[in-house]
Structures are given as structure tokens and as C-alpha cells.
Structure 1
Amino acid sequence: MFVGILSNAVLGHPNCKDGLMTVSDVRKIIQEKSFLDKVTGYFDNIVVNGVVVDEKGEPLPGVVIKVKGTTRSTVSGNNGRFYISATDENPTLIFSYIGYKTIEITAVTTLTVNMILDPAKLDEVLVMGYGTTTRRLSTGSQSGITAKDIEKQPVTNLLQTIQARIPGVTIVQTNGLPGAGINVQIRGANSIGKTNRPLYIIDGVPYLSEQINLAASATGNTGLPSAEGQTSPLNTINPADIESIEVLKDADATAIYGSRAANGVVLITTKKGKAGKTKFGVNASSGASVVPRFVEMLGIDQYLALRRKGFANVTTNPAAPSTTTAPDLLLWDQTKNTNWLQELLGGTARTNDVSANVSGGDSRTNFYISGTYHKEGNVYPGDQSYQRGGVNVNINH
């Protein structure tokens, strides 16, 4: 049986020529895991069978269970039960649910998890169109992030900070160039022929929604030339100056702001000075990125051999290569070998960002002043970098 399996593996291996292989290649085949071995290894993982209960000992459905350090996750069922497998020797499970504290527990085969109430989360302040409320009292569908979440992300556009963080909100950059436009959809597309852009409100004031180059054109639809295609209006705002971002997704948005909010509302609150000692902060960062792996292409010798083989295989209407049909075989230099992927995509995209702020005041007057400079390049040849500089002054009396 082993000989039969080995012979089939040898004959089907790409290094097998005329039924012959070197000893080293055969050893590699023996060492490679078969599909059966991989399936068997999967069932060797630890499988956790558990139940999640609340503070009263009642089953708690909808709890998100995730294996720490991996993307493997599951959700507890209506009876609070869950099943999940892990590959680590001592895996850690993370349990999270709205209104409860996030818990980390070392996995065992049978597990009972008691969730702990966290009332502070339900009393978090939410910014609404006509004031503020708390998650406990909010009746609308509203999600958002705070400055703590924003400052961890080195992004150019503040909309990128909520990408994949708020359910029901889709954010896609129009192309890979720095400073490019961003398409935002809240709960899908609401119109086929018209735009689906939401309404932006910054500190209670409506802000530009369409792309800057489109808004600056005479017709409003052709657009002025722009290297990055369409420039998002929110590129002009420094993400470090943002206190919170809230997204209104349902009828609340239309009820407060009217038909302009038919596609949802993005409420942006900027940082303001607070009474107390004057504070000064500086944040500087620098980074670089490259294309980690290129597709393997033909070399000059392989390409020429392929071209000659193509002419040799023409049997219905054979024709010898000519300067018209095959200049690469007869006229062009057959010794030069240029890796065009490396030439066009082999650069280094460097990013530099510097921001500084000073804030303070007393019970009557407070201030917040900040400045920023951002420069971001790309991997393409030439200078196609995106630069942004700005100053923000906020004084309240």
C-alpha cells in the first residue's frame, strides 16, 4: 500500500521526468504532509465546548468569542452555548458583549463563562444632531469611535479610521494613490442614478460632501485634473484634531437633518481646550512601505524561446519570422533583460507626519491650537507624493 501511494506521488510530482527522480526529491515527497495528514491535524486541535451566562446565571446569546492572536471567532447561540477550536497549546479566548466587560480566559475542553456587567459603557456620551445622549437612552442606530481609537491609526483621511470598525458602513478608497478619494456608503446604496454620499456635520456645521475637484469644476460632474483621481474633502482635516466620529444610520438622520441626510450622517466633533493647566503635545512619525512580492515573470532567454517555439508550431500557414511580425527576434537587443515590475513598482513609499498642539484655559475661556504637516509617497517612479499642511484654531469664551 505504501509503495503504491509513493509511486503515484512520484509520477505526479513536477520534478519527475521519465519516471526518474533524485533521492532528495523523493525525501521531500515523504516529508510533505498529505491532505489526510492535514485533516487529521485539524481534529487534533483543542475543541472548546462551553456556555456563556450573564450576572444572573441565565444563558447569554450573541456573545462574540475569539481566539486571541487569530482571526478565528464564533458567537454564542440562543442557549448561550458555543463551540470553537484552537491550535495553540494554551489558547486564550476573548469574550466581548455590549454592556459587559471584555474577558480573557485560557481555553479548556469544557468551559463556563460568567460575564461581568460594565454599566459605564451604557453611560458613554453619544453626540446627536440636537445634543447628546447615552447608549442606555439612545433609541436610534448609532455607532462611532473616539480619539483613543483614532490616534492609533496612521492614516491620511479621518474616514479611514472608521473603516471596518462600524457595522453597516462601507468605506472604499477609489485608487491606491495617496490622497485619493473615498467612497462612503451607509447601509448600502440608496440610489441608482444619484450619489450615495452621506451628509458630513463638523461641530454642528454641514461640510462639503462631494470630491474637491468635482466641486471646483463649472459643471460639477467632469472635475478638474487631479493626479490621485478624486480628492476627498476630509483630506484637509488632520485626524489628530478629531475628538469623536459618530455615524447616524437610520430614520433619526432624516428626522433631524431632512432629505440631505437620506444616505446617513457622519457627525465629526473636533478637539477643544479644557480648563486647567496649559498642555503641549507633539507627535511625529515616519514610515516606509514596499511591494513585498512580485509575480515571477519570464526571463529574456525564456521569452525568446517561447516566441521561436510559437513560429515553429505554426503548421497550417507556416511563415518565417520577419522584421514586421517578429522585431523582438530579429531587430531588438536580445541580451538586455529588464524587470519591468521592479522598475514600475519597486520604489519605496515613504510617509512623514508631524503634528503639534497646545491647549488650555479656564472656566470662562479655553483654546486649542494645532498645526500639522503630512507627506506621503508611493512605489511608482517619479515624484507623485501627496502633501498636506494646516493650522486649526479653536477658541471658546
Structure 2
Amino acid sequence: MRRFLRLIFLPIFIFLCILKVDAQEKTVTGKVFGDNNQTLAGATIRIKGTTRFTQTDASGSFSIKANEGETVEISHVGYEESSFKIGDSNSISVSLKTSASTMSEVTVVAMDIKRNPKELGYSAQKVAGDQIAQTQRVNFLNSLQGRVAGLSIVPTSGAAGASSQLVLRGFNSLTLNNQPLFIVDGVILDNSTLNETSNGGTSLGLASDRANRTSDYTNRIADLNPADIETVTILKGPEATALYGSQASSGAVVITTKKAVPGRTSIQYDNNFRASFVTRYADLNNDYTIGNNGVATTTPPTSVGSTTYFGPSYPEGTKKYDNINNFFRTGFTQTHNLTADFGTKNAGFRLTSSYYDENGVIPNNEFTKFNVRLANTTKIGKYVSVSPAFQYIYSINDKPIRGAGGYLLDLYDWPANNDVRNYVDAKGYKTRILATDFNTEVDNPLFSVHNNHGQDKTDRYLATLGIDVNPWNWLTVAGRFGYDHYYQRGYSIYHPMSYYYSAATGGYLDDYYRNYNGYNHTITATAHKNFGKFAVRLMLGTMYQDYETKMW
């Protein structure tokens, strides 16, 4: 009888134990709030000591399985981490406090040093990366126009892939480079624009002294993806750029990129489509034919200084063409960005890729850029953090070679009674229109864009490494290492009938190759101590740079 009772009670006891274990695991739901009782999307909910985690949705809500007694950790970028133990309640509400580092504004200045703006004795204006990305400009320099006092952006043209020049507080030199120094995550990057006229010797021929007059080459800082930029800080004056020496005599542009966030997992995709039109032109007088002093001309002037203007009036009923609208086309631009964040509590990875394609308003003008970047942030122990990043950029710029006066000026000169679209005659020869200048002719811009063509291709590799060591709260040792390499090649083709070259030359082909390698690093040790209302800061450091450009 006793044995029988034992057999009965033992299964019942095991069954009750199973019920007890099952009862401990449950689904916990809740909401996460931030400042002003606003819900927080993307907050990470993690069960401490396990691999179980989830994230809040757009409304700040979450749901996760947990056992009673387990600790739940809640974190979000810009907020202090919070935690609680699972109890009897199945529904919770958590409010996160803004972190102190977020509440105190920080500006990144020379040598990747982070300072409170109130501590700076010089001008340092900051532009948020979101403001730059919203403009959807492939060359992010154009996004800075009107946002920083004393800053002027000068784009070379409205063509796809055109270069831009940034000038701070006016030009400092008539002969030297007036461009500021560009620093990305503490590493100096090259922003030069190709000067093909400096190619290896003038033996390359006629095109070597006209390449940069009739063709544009993208400035290299445009290789960066605007969606990767966190902040842009503009440093003006010698006080702000003293640590970089004479190479920053025209100022400095300090760029910080978006970092991987440990413990955060998310995937984001966005795109943008845009059409562009040429809508405003100068008012033209289309009442007179080409000629001099009321007399039509069929030959150019015979001597310098004999040029006058205005031929006879067009006969009544003469058909006139809208040559400007007949030349320009509707431009189309598309941008695609894909971002993935993933990692653990102490390490985060950020993978970004972008595709940009622009068909300009000028026929046969297209600029395409592909960009992929992998960044990591890892905390090693209590005192060390590392942040390596690697980036690859490929761009191709198909560009027509513009005429002697540029497309628009040639269109202004083109007679209103002549259709610019008829740029070749029945025999296949270029239609010629004589100019009013001595010994010249007007280039038909449509002939130029369809017969004179150029192309540039660039492969660029960027590698950076940041190391920060904080053995004590008053001492920081930082190292920034960077390698920049790009290989650029291109060509320009001129038709035998183009104005620059007579048929006797048989046309012209000019090509170039450019190879750039740049390495630089900075190592600094900064000590900071507060004495009541006063503070003392001491920094020791070293910088090394080595770069080489080969062109042939």
C-alpha cells in the first residue's frame, strides 16, 4: 500500500513542479517613454545574462518572454540605461532620462578633440548631418551654402558630377590653394580636383592646355556619402586651425561620421527621386539676324577690332526656334540608401551602402556613384575603445566636352531662325554658323555633346582607425590612423569637325591616369583638471603625413 501511494504521489509532484516552472515564464509587454512623455521607437529591451532581446516599435511598445526574477535592461541612444526585475506584473511602463553627455553640447574641433562650445575662443560653426542629407545633394559641399557665416560655395557648373569650391572668409592668395583642409574622423582626406593641364609634359598635344577649360573633374571630397555624415564643423581663422599648421591656413572642415551603436539592431532603407529643369534664361533680342551694322555677313571679320553687331531685321513671317529649350532636357536623379546596425552590448557594427545616379539637363551627361562603408565600435574592458572603418567608392562621370564659350553662351549666339537640332547637313558635315568675333565660329552645342565626349572613372579606398584609452577620468590618450587611396582615369575625344581641331588633324584623343596614396596619423595625450570655476587642459601629441600623387 505504501509503495502504491509513493507511485501515485511521485508523478503528481513532478507534474506540479512542471506547472511551477511553466508558470514562471511569461510574456511581458510595455511602453518606453523619453522626454516630455514621448514614446521612444528603437529602444533595445534585453534580458540580462541571456541572448534574448527585442526593440520597441514606432509607438514605443514592446513584448518579450521572461522569467520572474530576471533583470530587464532598457537602452536607447542619447538616454541613460534603465533596468528592472520581472515581478508579478505582466505590463510595465518605463521612462528614460536624457544622458548627461547628450544634454551638454559637444563640438569636435582640431585633432578630433571634443570641446564644449563655451570653452572655445574662436569661431566653430556646426551643421548637423540630417540637414545635409535632407538636401539630397550628391556633393555635400553644396548643402552648406547659406548655413555658415563667411562660407561661400562656388560650383563650376550645373552639370552632373560638377566640382565645387569652398571658400572661407574670402580668398587668401592669388596663386596658392584657397581650399580649407578636410578632416574626417580625425584623419586628413584629399579634396583636390584633377588638373589635367599639369599632366606629365606638354607632349600630350593640343588638348593638354585646354582640358580644364572644356571639361570638369569632380572634387574628391564629393566621394563621401552625405547619409554617413553626423556633423560638419567649420573652423575659421589661425586660432582654430593652429594644430594643423600652414596646410589649414584657409580654414578647416571637420567631419564626423555616424558610428555603430552597441546593442542596437535595425535596418533602414530610403530613396529619393527628383526631376530637374532649366526654367530661367536671359531675355534675348530675336529681331535681328547675324551681321554687322544692318548688313548680313557670310564671312567672319578680317581683322581684330572690326567687329560690330546686329544684322538686318528678320523678314516678316520668319520661323524662329526656341533653341535653348530644344537643347536642354529634363534631368532625372535617383538616390538609394541602405543601412544596417547590429551588434552586442559592447560592440556595434554599421553597414551602409548607397547608389546615386544623375542624368543631367545637358544631353549625354550622367554621373553615377556607388558607396559602401563598414564601421565598428568596440569597447574593450573599462578603459579602451576602438573604432575601425573601411569605405569603398566607385564613380563614373560621362560628360560631353563643352565648346569654347560654354553651352548656354553658344545658344545665346545661335541665330533664332536656325534650328540648333540640325547640327549636321545632308552630307553628314557639321552645320557652321559664323560668329561676329574675329576668325571664329559659333560651336553648335548639340554637335559638341553628341560628338565630343569625355569620361572619368574613380576607385577610392578609405580606411580609418580610432583608438581611445581613458585610464583615469582626467587623462585621455587617443590615436587616429588613416589611409586614403584612389585611382582615377579618363579620356576626352574630340571630333575632327569640332572647332578646336580641323579635319586635317583627324580628331583627337586625350587620356590620363592618376594614382594617389595618402597616409597620416595623430597621437595625442590630453590631461584635464578642474579647480573650482577654473580648468587646466594640457595636450601633447604628434602628427605624421605622407602622400604621393602620380599622373601620366
Match of 1:342 in 2: 325
Match of 1:128 in 2: 109
State the number of aligned residues.
259
2:164 matches 1:177: no
* SS state at 1:234 partner: helix
Match of 1:310 in 2: 294
Equivalent-residue separation in structure 2 for 1:322 and 1:146 (angstroms): 58
Q: Is the 8 A contact 1:352 1:374 kept in 2?
A: yes
2:279 matches 1:292: yes
Equivalent-residue separation in structure 2 for 1:154 and 1:324 (angstroms): 49
Equivalent-residue separation in structure 2 for 1:222 and 1:187 (angstroms): 31
Equivalent-residue separation in structure 2 for 1:184 and 1:283 (angstroms): 28
Q: 1:235 aligns with which of 219, 222, 226?
A: 222
Equivalent-residue separation in structure 2 for 1:283 and 1:385 (angstroms): 22
Q: 2:364 aligns with which of 341, 361, 383?
A: 383
Equivalent-residue separation in structure 1 for 2:273 and 2:156 (angstroms): 24
Letter in 2 for 1:231: T
Match of 1:190 in 2: 172
Query: Structure 1 residues 226 and 243, CA, compared in 2 at 3 Å: closer, same or farther?
Result: farther
**Percent of pairs identical after alignment?**
28
Q: 2:123 aligns with which of 138, 141, 147?
A: 141
Displacement of 1:275 in angstroms is 1.8
Displacement of 1:254 in angstroms is 3.5
Q: Is the 8 A contact 2:339 2:351 kept in 1?
A: yes
TM-score by length of 1: 0.57
Query: Structure 1 residues 157 and 335, CA, compared in 2 at 3 Å: closer, same or farther?
Result: same
Match of 1:269 in 2: 256
2:191 matches 1:204: no
| Runs of 5+ consecutive residues of structure 1 not aligned to the other structure | 1-119, 312-320
Query: Structure 1 residues 222 and 394, CA, compared in 2 at 3 Å: closer, same or farther?
Result: farther
CA radius of gyration, larger in: 2
Q: Please list the CA deviations of residues 68-125 of structure 1 after superposition, one character each: whole Å capped at 9, or x if unmatched.
A: xxxxxxxxxxxxxxxxxxxxxxxxxxxxxxxxxxxxxxxxxxxxxxxxxxxx999311
Q: Is the 8 A contact 1:177 1:378 kept in 2?
A: yes
Letter in 2 for 1:274: V
2:247 matches 1:260: yes
Q: Please list the CA deviations of residues 235-290 of structure 1 after superposition, one character each: whole Å capped at 9, or x if unmatched.
A: 21110110110111022343211111111111111111102331111110101111
Query: Structure 1 residues 215 and 136, CA, compared in 2 at 3 Å: closer, same or farther?
Result: farther
Query: Structure 1 residues 213 and 270, CA, compared in 2 at 3 Å: closer, same or farther?
Result: farther
Query: Structure 1 residues 293 and 128, CA, compared in 2 at 3 Å: closer, same or farther?
Result: closer
Equivalent-residue separation in structure 2 for 1:392 and 1:255 (angstroms): 31
Displacement of 1:230 in angstroms is 2.7
| Runs of 5+ consecutive residues of structure 2 not aligned to the other structure | 1-100, 202-207, 301-310, 379-552
Query: Structure 1 residues 124 and 294, CA, compared in 2 at 3 Å: closer, same or farther?
Result: same
Query: Structure 1 residues 324 and 365, CA, compared in 2 at 3 Å: closer, same or farther?
Result: closer
Q: 1:369 aligns with which of 328, 348, 351?
A: 351
Q: Is the 8 A contact 1:122 1:134 kept in 2?
A: no
Query: Structure 1 residues 249 and 372, CA, compared in 2 at 3 Å: closer, same or farther?
Result: same
Match of 2:133 in 1: 151
Displacement of 1:142 in angstroms is 0.5
Match of 2:11 in 1: none
Q: Is the 8 A contact 1:213 1:231 kept in 2?
A: no
Query: Structure 1 residues 158 and 338, CA, compared in 2 at 3 Å: closer, same or farther?
Result: same
TM-score by length of 2: 0.42
Moved more, 225-234 or 191-200: 225-234
